[in-house]
Amino acid sequence: MNTTAPKLATTPLYKLHLELGAKMVPFAGYSMPVQYPTGVLKEHNHTRTQAGLFDVSHMGQVRLSGADAAAALETLVPVDIVDLGVNCQRYAMFTNEHGGILDDLMVSNGGDHLFVVVNAACKQQDVAHLRKHLSERCKIEELSDRALLALQGPAAAAVMARLAAQTAKMIFMDTAKLTLVGVECFVSRSGYTGEDGFEISVPDAQAEELARLLLAQPEVAPIGLGARDSLRLEAGLCLYGHDMDDGTTPVEASLAWALSKARRAGGARPGGYPGADIILRQLAEGVARKRVGLLAKDRMPVREGAELVDAEGRVIGKVTSGGFGPTINGPVAMGYVDIAYATLGTALHAIVRGKPVAVEVAKTPFTPQRYFRG
C-alpha cells in the first residue's frame, strides 16, 4: 500500500516565501504561506492600516473567448454576464440542479474575452464543468502559466499609482490591462479583505520580480493565509466549502444581492441556469435557514463546527467560520440558523468544548468595507 502523500504543488513565489521566513502549510494541494515571522495578528493589522501582499497564485484563471462566450456562461450562473461592461468585473456562482453552489468566482469582461477566477480547491472540477457545458459555444483556456498577486489595504492605491498611474482612475470592480515589470498584466480593483486593493494576474516568469517590486515599497508587507482568513471573516465574506457548498443555495447563503435583476422573475433573461426554479422560488417565498453573522459575548472564540442552540438548548444551527477578529478585538463567526432565529440581535448559545457560549446574531460585515467606489 502506498501511503506517501501526494506531492504539493508550488507557486512561482515559493522560493521567495522561504526567503521571507514563511511557515508553509498544505492548502488546496499547494504549499502555501500561512504566516511570516511577524505573525498573523500583525499581518492582519498591517493590511487594515497599510498594504499587504498576498500570493493567491493557487487560484484558477480561465479565459473564455468567442462571440457567444457571455451568453454561454449565463447558462451556468445566476448573474448578468451579457450586459457586463468592458473592463468591468462581477461576482458569480456556478449552481447545480438543486440550486446548490458548486463554486463562487469572479468574471471580468476583457473586451474580446471573459477572464474568470475560480477557487483553488475547485479549479479542476470548474474547468471540467465549463468544458462539458460550453466547449461547443466558446473557447476555454486554463491559464496555468500565470500567477495571481493581491495587494490589499488603504495604502494599496498609492503603491499601485507609483507603478502604473492609470490605476488611480479605476474604481471598485474595474479591470485593466497594464504593463508592470515590462509585461502585460491583467489588474482588477478588488479583493477578499474588505479593504481597497488590487488583484494582479502576471506571467509566472515575472511574478517574483513584481512581488519584490511591491515588497520594496515602504507600505507593503507579505501576508499569509492566516491573516487572509481573519480579514475575510471580519469583512463577512464567504469561504467556499465552509460558508457555502453544493448543498447550500445563494439565497440560504445570504448572497441574494449577487443574483442579478436581469436573471430574476420579471427580468430580461429570467432563469436559464441550473437550479433556477428552486432559487427563484426561494427568492419569492423565503428559505428555512440562512447564513448570519455571530458575535460572541465573551472572549471565547467560537469556531467552525460548533452547534448553535436556542434558550431551551435545541440545536437550531451550526457555525461555519469563526475566530478572533483583531480589528474589532473580539471573536467573530458566521453560521447557519433556522430562519426564526435569523433576526439581528437574537440571543443564542454556541456549544464550545461542551459548554454554552453566549452569542448574538449580528450584521455583517463586522468591520466596515472600504472598497473605493469613486
Predicted local distance difference test score (pLDDT) of residue 6: 79
pLDDT at 243: 98
High-pLDDT (> 90) share of the chain, %: 98
Q: Kindly report the CA angle at 281 between 94 and 269, in degrees rounded to 5?
A: 60
Give 258's contacts (C-beta < 8 A, 6+ positions apart): 78, 79, 91, 92, 93, 250
3-state class percentages of the chain: helix first, strand second, coil last, to nearest 5: 25, 35, 40
Model confidence at 191: pLDDT above 60: yes
Q: What is the pTM of this model?
A: 0.97
pLDDT tens column, 11-25: 999 999 999 999 999
User: Would you kindly state where each structural domain of the chain is located, as residue ranges?
Assistant: 289-367
pLDDT at 168: 98
- Give the pLDDT mean for 318-327: 98
* Record: fold of 289-367: Elongation Factor Tu (Ef-tu); domain 3 (2.40.30)
The pLDDT of 248-261, averaged and rounded, is 98
For 90-125, the pLDDT digits (tens) are: 999 999 999 999 999 999 999 999 999 999 999 999
Grid cell of 318 as nine digits: 451550526
Sheet containing strand 220-222, edge to edge, reads: 175-180, 183-188, 197-203, 146-152, 51-55, 220-222
What are 123-132's contacts with CB under 8 Å, separation 24+? Answer: 123/59, 123/60, 126/60, 126/62, 126/94, 126/102, 127/60, 127/62, 129/76, 129/94, 129/102, 130/62, 130/64, 130/76
